[in-house]
Amino acid sequence: MKKFEVAVIGGGPGGYTAGIRLQQYGINAVVFEKARLGGVCLNWGCIPTKALVKIADLYQEVKDREQSGVFISDTKVDFQATMNYKDEVVEKLVSGIEYLYKRREIPLIEEEVIEIKSESDGYIIITSESEYKCDYIILATGSKPKEIGNLKFDGQQVLSSRDILSLSELPESLAVIGGGVIGCEFASIYQQLGVKVSIIEFLPNLVSMEDNEISKRLQIMMKKRKIKIYTKTNVNEIEKQDDKVILHLSTGKTMEAEKVLMSIGREPVCEIKFNGFELIKDRGFVTVDPELRTNNRRIFAIGDLTGKLMLAHTASKQAMLVAEVLNRELRGEGEGAFSINYSDIPRCTFTSPCIGSVGLTEYQAKEKYGEIETGKFMFSANGKAIASGNTEGFVKVIIEKKTGLIRGMHIIGPEAVEMIAQGSIMINLSADINKLKSLVFAHPTLSEAIGEALEDSENLAIHKM
């Protein structure tokens, strides 16, 4: 029976990162992945959807270029070619991770883990084909799209976020159930590609975890693009017919669509049998301490399984933390690993316009710190945005009045998902408004809007009345 110091179960962004970092530390580790490395993110989530976002944005930009004197006739989308491009992007990245594993000689077991058995001196990992022994375990088994009640996926008319990435042709119409990040991203992509799109969301706002001003602006922009939005609305029943789906809404109305995307959230996945021990869970998520240890000290959990912040980069950072904790423990160095503040992890939504946010919303900051100052600057007054013909949205900063510390930054508009890294750095380095006065933002850039928003928190923005 092969013996390893650490067994990583799951090869997604958390699992494969853990495998690499443990190898960098010289720790004898193995990774179990029943499909391919990269998990949902690389194979069926972040990466393939971003490939589609690029195509959708490009197509929209080409159609909008006439105002700047560029005329391109016979603009069209070959959807099958687009999906082929998406698959090529995925294959390139996944094969790249597999190449890293091969060159680094990291053991990869392409078998499904069925059972973990606890013994006095470690654990036995039982797969569909073999058994392995280890001292520590990192659970990185991820999550899957959620179903509720009588709303079930069929892969043909009622689609999950994974199913919709396998369509062979564009539908004429698409109803999206759920106005969170994933639902809004797909709604934006398919609308830009020419599909008639509707969003049904039971909460008052789309992307409800975002700052209220951001949510409202996204909704305005989506309506401007002819996306029909129904908030405070549930879907009571889905009725399937030969070539369409009838949605019965809680308002008493009905809606027809060729395809339905059900995007009502994700739920943790861990179908492994635990023999000789149990893990404490909350709503299916594995409970962990700040070091990502479960109630069983030698078993860690990372990624979506923890329910902390279900983002790929959260899982990757958690993997690095666990690897550092294990490295220090195995070498007898004791405590001292870095910590993760989940509220300060940046969040990105790849809609049109896109959203980048980090830290607290205005409401959260008021609840936690009392008096705050806010600064806002519109891209419609930014030179680079005007020159590029994309002036939608704004930058908003939230500052604790007592200390001057930046507690939140929220951006909706061009390149928001790239610009938000600046806010992440400011917040994580505990920068206050006085320190940031010496920063010079290059001209002409979109990032100048961040500088002006900071200045606006003191009513000193140059290009704002």
- Could you confirm whether 443 is annotated as catalytic? yes
Count CB neighbours of 144 within 10 A: 15
Chain centre to alpha carbon of residue 362: 21
CA pseudo-torsion sign 424, 24, 305, 182: positive
Count CB neighbours of 177 within 10 A: 23
User: CA–CA separation, 193 vs 185, rounded Å?
Assistant: 13
User: CA–CA separation, 464 vs 246, rounded Å?
Assistant: 48
Do 230 and 200 contact (CB within 8 A), yes or no? Answer: yes
Do 249 and 200 contact (CB within 8 A), yes or no? Answer: yes
Q: DSSP assignment of 115-174, as one string?
A: EEEEETTEEEEEESS-EEEEEEEEE---EEE--BTTB---SSSEE-TTGGGG-SS--SEE
DSSP state of 406: E
φ/ψ of residue 184, rounded to 5: -70, -35
Which residues lie below 8 Å from residue 278, measured CB to CB, with a gap of 6+?
none
User: CA–CA separation, 140 vs 6, rounded Å?
Assistant: 13
Three-class secondary structure of residue 214 per DSSP:
helix
**Choosing from 248, 313, 410, 443, which is the catalytic residue?**
443
Chain centre to alpha carbon of residue 372: 28
Residues 301-311: b if buried by 16+ CB within 10 A, e if exposed: bbbbbbbbbbb
Which residues lie below 8 Å from residue 186, measured CB to CB, with a gap of 6+?
49, 161, 164, 174, 176, 261, 263
Catalytic residues: 443
